Chains A and B, each alone.
Chain A
Amino acid sequence: MVIVGFKLGSFIILLSAMLSVEPEKELVFRNTPLDQVCSTLEQHFDIEFSIKGKSLRHKRVTARYTQASLDTILEDLAFVLNFRYERKKDMIVIQQ
């Protein structure tokens, strides 16, 4: 009973957390290092990032998105910063 209640509770918390994310929220990056960009995206899309390579981590980027899928944003950044990325379960791995 307790276990069921716990699961239900965490589900409700998760659900409200997801709903609390402003869907129309604009993502703005102004000369932001890539590692910060990734942590913003981690929150926004509920996914983990792993950046391989120090120099890549500190590359700065400027961009603005209103409505865009994660894939679109990643593809754009990959083009501008010349990196490759790979989706592994709940983790996105970025490397030079």
Chain B
Amino acid sequence: MRSPRVLLSILAIWLVFPLTALSGSIPNIREVKVSLNLVNVSLEEALQRIEEATVFRFVYSSENIDKDQRVNLRVYDVTVAQVLEELFRGKNLMIRQRNYQVMIKGFHRAGSPKIVVEQEYGTIMGRITDEQTGEPLPGATVTIRGTSIGSVTNLNGNYTLVQVPTGTQSVVISFLGYRDKVQEVEIKPNSTLSLNAALQPDVTTMQEVIVTGQALGQQAAINQQLSSNTIVNVVSKERIEELPDQNAAESVGRLPGIAIERNAGEGQKVIVRGLSPRFNAITINGERIPSTDPQDRSVDLSMISPEQLAGIEVFKALTPDKDGDAIGGTVNFVVKRASENWQGNVRVQTGYNSIANEWGQYRGNARLSNRFLVNKLGVLVTGNYQRANRSSDVLSADWQTLVERPDLIRLESSTLSDIIEVRRRYGGSLAVDYDLGVNSSLLWSTLWGETDRDELRRRRTFDVRENFQDYGLRERSLNTRLLSSSFSGDHAFSNQSLEFDWRTSYSTSRQTTPFSHQMRFREVNAFDFDEGGPPVGAGPGAITGFANNDFANAFLRRGEIDDDLTTEDIYTVQADLKKVLNFGSGNRAYVKGGVKYRLFDRSKDAVQFRDQGNGAQDGFEDFLEDFPNEYQLTPSAANQDISMTNFLGNYQAEDFLDNSVDFGPGLNEFAVDRFATLFASDYYYPNGLVDNADYEAQEGIAAAYLMSEVDFGKLMLLGGVRIEHTDAEYLGFRTAEIDEDDLDEGELGATFRQEQTSEIAYTEWLPMLHARYKFTDWFDVRVAATRSLARPDFQNLVPWERIEPFESRAELGNPALQHMTAWNFDVFFSAYRNFGLFTVGFFQKELSNIDVQYQFTETNRRDLLFGYEVSQPINVTEPTTVRGVEIDFQANLLALPSPFNGIVFSANVTFIESSTLYPFFARRGDSGSPLFTPRFVDDFRPGRMPGQPDLTTNVSLGYEKGGFSGRLSMILQDDSFDQLGSRPQEDSFSDLLVRLDAVASYNINKQFQVFAHWNNITDAPIESFQFQESFLTAQEYFGFTADFGLRYKFGKE
């Protein structure tokens, strides 16, 4: 950041002098100015003169005002309030204005005389809905005419206007695409007025138009986006509910600036503006969700059931009241509020998966809600179940580059993976809210989500360089559980100008792989190079046809059992206080402050059992005695091992990679399972080297913030600062293999293991400044300069060391790793006309201290690891820049004549470029003279941020008419950079992806709807490559899926 000081000083001025010289239009004694020349007149007459010159009328009693007192006053163009202060100088007075009346009274108090000018206020609250459908309208603005007092409805359609001056006021309710509504109300001091309103679509045609489904979804999103005072994109409730994507990640992924990280074709994580998932915060009602990933800090969004959501918001510019660790953005899921009568929704569906050629994609969701005890107690409960076949066929390859011939890239090996995977998701939620009366409520919200992934992976690796073929089978069940519970309260106090919110929450996530087991067999001399072998230049797919496939001589090379457990608990307490201020009558400001404490408690426990790496020789003889005749040996008498023939079944992969290669026979999972179950506990040994990845981490984050927002009408300014103090403790292990020569006879392979701890503490100031300027009522610009941070992944921070002396290799954590900070700059233009919404946003992020994995050879002779190949995360000291442009167009065609008014169109395109420096270390020849000391290059290479596509495009075309609604959407993600090598020839990339999805529904009546999805229509593979697209490193096919179902709903929301 070039000018943080300039920004900081602007902020300081901002916070110290938030509000001066505000102007408004309703008469107020602090604004209306008069000129008077009073010479020896009575006080009574003086007041009459002011009444004549202005619209004000005074109310006072001679009890405490000496009406006959003579006064002299000559003033020119000063406010009425100042005149009154001058007239009554030296007295204790209280002045209160209501409507045109100005009340003056004296009061007794000790100390120096004081004149208090006060105004009385009331509160308005209510709900804004669509007149025909009764659906809430989120993002509708409610303002007091002639002032800048205003509020925006939340995702449940509710709003609150505080500090409304008493008297008769005109309330203007507007929702773009709908007709404005103006309502006259009488505001009483210190009381709350309930004002609900139903709006009608604003359509020029004569026919009655009911805005539903897609059109309403789009309109609601547009309204929420425009009425926000920051930069936000929204997925509305209608979008989630009426024509749903397969999961929440897919829905978020259709917003501008967002790319999706997929797993077996299913969207799981979001990349916001080219920044990988770990840079983004995922929250439910503002509460952080723990990471569901064993490695990094990312969250799998497919864990969240859409049934309970009132909408999804993606905040792209941070405000001080949100967690500071969101450099990319904050994705917030807003939970529905219980309806005021019995309301329910049941959805069941079944479908087909083309790659598994299987029917049996089941899914069921249900939701029920109501309010009890005179609408005070609301209860909303949801449940969901899904079974999905997410099988895939994968071809992957390794390419070799030579130092001497950097231009030559040769195929080293290729691998075929046949993955059969069934995912089951279970989940539910319970939200209970209680209305404590005027302006006060409690909410208890609990969410549970669980995913079981049962995966059976058969794999064959063809290595042409070392001439072997490996056969493997792995059976793994991955269970992820997420539980999040929060209890919160919102309260408004005294004369309603003070709001107090508090929250406590507990969230936990757990990921386990119980009894994940695999066996690997090896066939040596798999290719007959004497007889030619595979032709030179044969591709990764082609070489697989040239192997000998000598199954009888393929021997058991390794067996393994893995039991990993990663848990993360987050405890949060927070409190926010907001004070609404009035400076003049028209303009509005608030000051908000708060504190928050978050404690992350995370641990990883990995256990692996395996043989000694000596094939079946490990404990082999005992083994055969216990189970005679069960296992045949390889024919070769010299090196008798358990043969793969014992484990061959008649499994045949069908249509593998669209029949472009033959997968051949696969291993039998029951035989492998039996081996692992019966023998593993006796013949496999705990692998100490795995334990070293175990860790325990406690991170406490204490945060406080102060912010202020002022709305001048055309101009809105929001500024503040957040301070986050992080205090963390990590525990890891240093482990090393011990030479087997040092072991006693019969003693098993052992490891040296030592506990190590580290502590870090740091404080970050995060200043933020936002502004919005409305050029006209349809065109505005938003700018923001914010500072945010990101913490490194736990595994990278933990003081762990895995040392393998036999291989001269070491993997290390880095407790000295710094957190990342970023300055983010945004300029965002929005134009809304009857054609729809058009936005263009520019952003630039300047990141410091990003961390990357660094591979090097230790050249320091004094270091214990001298000569080792070391892998360790380090900080890049050079700044990293990410910049881009987002263009979004959402067309509103309701004004067109039928049938064209049924078209709903949206398109967005995002261009991003990033530049960072990656460290690399490579051997570049040697000294060239005797001793031939290797020469190393330790340098940086520029590159893009990992996972950042240069171009992302979403196009969506929808149509709805009568009860029919359909949508065709396309996602295009340009290639993205994955990993940097020491030369361009070693760089790896993800290839361009174009994906098509379709969804359609038909409403049979108000209760029943039938719907269908067709996802990944073109069966587009996910591909990656090295250097150039011709050097394919992975190609993953997962087929298309089609499903259809029925929805039943009852009750109005």
User: A interface vs B, CB < 8 Å?
Assistant: 31, 59-65, 68-69, 71-72, 75-77, 79-82
Say yes or no: B57 contacts A64, CB within 8 Å: yes
Binds A, one of B100-108, B865-873, B875-883, B901-909: B100-108
Say yes or no: A76 contacts B62, CB within 8 Å: no
Say yes or no: A60 contacts B63, CB within 8 Å: yes
Q: Contacts A64-B51, A68-B99 hold; do A76 and B59 have CB atoms under 8 A apart?
A: yes
Say yes or no: A63 contacts B58, CB within 8 Å: yes
Q: A76-B98, A81-B61, A81-B105 are in contact. List 10 more A-B contacts (CB 8 A).
A: A60-B62, A60-B63, A63-B58, A63-B59, A63-B60, A65-B101, A71-B188, A76-B59, A79-B103, A81-B63
- Chain B residue numbers with a CB within 8 Å of A60 are 61-63
Could you mark each residue 171-208 of chain B with 1 if its beta carbon is under 8 Å from any beta carbon of chain A, else 0?
A: 00000000000000010110000000000000000000
Q: Contacts A31-B67, A77-B59, A81-B63 hold; do A63 and B186 have CB atoms under 8 A apart?
A: no
- Chain B residue numbers with a CB within 8 Å of A77 are 59
In residues 467-502 of chain B, which contact A (Cβ within 8 Å)? none
Is B44 in the interface zone, CB < 8 Å from A? yes
Is B774 in the interface zone, CB < 8 Å from A? no
Say yes or no: A62 contacts B61, CB within 8 Å: yes
Say yes or no: A62 contacts B105, CB within 8 Å: no
Say yes or no: A61 contacts B98, CB within 8 Å: no
Q: Contacts A72-B98, A81-B63 hold; do A65 and B57 have CB atoms under 8 A apart?
A: yes
Say yes or no: B63 contacts A63, CB within 8 Å: no
Is B96 in the interface zone, CB < 8 Å from A? yes
Write the chain B residue with the least CB distance to A62: B60
Complex: A47 Cα to B96 Cα, angstroms: 27
Complex: A79 Cα to B61 Cα, angstroms: 10
In residues 116-143 of chain B, which contact A (Cβ within 8 Å)? none
Say yes or no: B99 contacts A72, CB within 8 Å: yes
Complex: A19 Cα to B104 Cα, angstroms: 34
- Chain A residue numbers with a CB within 8 Å of B58 are 62-64
Complex: A71 Cα to B629 Cα, angstroms: 102
Say yes or no: A31 contacts B62, CB within 8 Å: yes
Write the chain B residue with the least CB distance to A61: B61
Complex: A71 Cα to B187 Cα, angstroms: 11
Least CB distance, B100 to chain A, in whole angstroms: 8
How many of B's residues come within 8 Å of A, CB to CB?
Answer: 22
A sample of 14 cross-chain residue pairs with beta-carbon separation below 8 angstroms, ordered by A number, consists of A59-B63, A60-B61, A60-B63, A62-B44, A62-B47, A62-B58, A62-B61, A62-B62, A63-B58, A71-B188, A72-B98, A72-B167, A75-B98, A80-B59
Say yes or no: B67 contacts A62, CB within 8 Å: yes
Complex: A76 Cα to B99 Cα, angstroms: 11
- Chain B residue numbers with a CB within 8 Å of A72 are 98-99, 101, 167
Interface centre among A69, A75, A80 (most CB of B within 10 A): A80
Least CB distance, B48 to chain A, in whole angstroms: 9
Say yes or no: B67 contacts A63, CB within 8 Å: no
User: B interface vs A, CB < 8 Å?
Assistant: 44, 47, 51, 57-63, 67, 96, 98-99, 101, 103-105, 167, 186, 188-189
- Chain A residue numbers with a CB within 8 Å of B44 are 31, 62
Interface centre among B44, B59, B62 (most CB of A within 10 A): B59
Complex: A35 Cα to B603 Cα, angstroms: 79
- Chain A residue numbers with a CB within 8 Å of B101 are 63, 65, 68, 72, 76
Partner of A75, one of B62, B63, B189: B189
Least CB distance, A76 to chain B, in whole angstroms: 5
Least CB distance, B99 to chain A, in whole angstroms: 7
- Chain A residue numbers with a CB within 8 Å of B60 are 61-63, 80
Partner of B57, one of A59, A61, A63, A82: A63
Complex: A83 Cα to B44 Cα, angstroms: 23
- Chain A residue numbers with a CB within 8 Å of B57 are 63-65
- Chain A residue numbers with a CB within 8 Å of B61 are 59-62, 80-81
- Chain B residue numbers with a CB within 8 Å of A75 are 98, 189
- Chain B residue numbers with a CB within 8 Å of A61 are 59-62
- Chain B residue numbers with a CB within 8 Å of A82 are 105
Complex: A72 Cα to B101 Cα, angstroms: 10
- Chain A residue numbers with a CB within 8 Å of B67 are 31, 62
Least CB distance, A44 to chain B, in whole angstroms: 16
- Chain A residue numbers with a CB within 8 Å of B186 are 69
- Chain A residue numbers with a CB within 8 Å of B51 are 64
Complex: A60 Cα to B44 Cα, angstroms: 13
- Chain A residue numbers with a CB within 8 Å of B59 are 61-63, 76-77, 80
Say yes or no: B98 contacts A80, CB within 8 Å: no
- Chain B residue numbers with a CB within 8 Å of A64 are 51, 57-58
Say yes or no: B105 contacts A79, CB within 8 Å: yes
Least CB distance, B937 to chain A, in whole angstroms: 83
Complex: A59 Cα to B106 Cα, angstroms: 14
Complex: A83 Cα to B103 Cα, angstroms: 14
Complex: A62 Cα to B44 Cα, angstroms: 9
Interface centre among A65, A68, A79 (most CB of B within 10 A): A79
Complex: A59 Cα to B61 Cα, angstroms: 7
Write the chain B residue with the least CB distance to A63: B59
Write the chain B residue with the least CB distance to A75: B189
Partner of A76, one of B47, B103, B188: B103
Complex: A77 Cα to B51 Cα, angstroms: 18
Least CB distance, B106 to chain A, in whole angstroms: 10
Write the chain B residue with the least CB distance to A55: B63
Least CB distance, A60 to chain B, in whole angstroms: 5
Least CB distance, A49 to chain B, in whole angstroms: 17
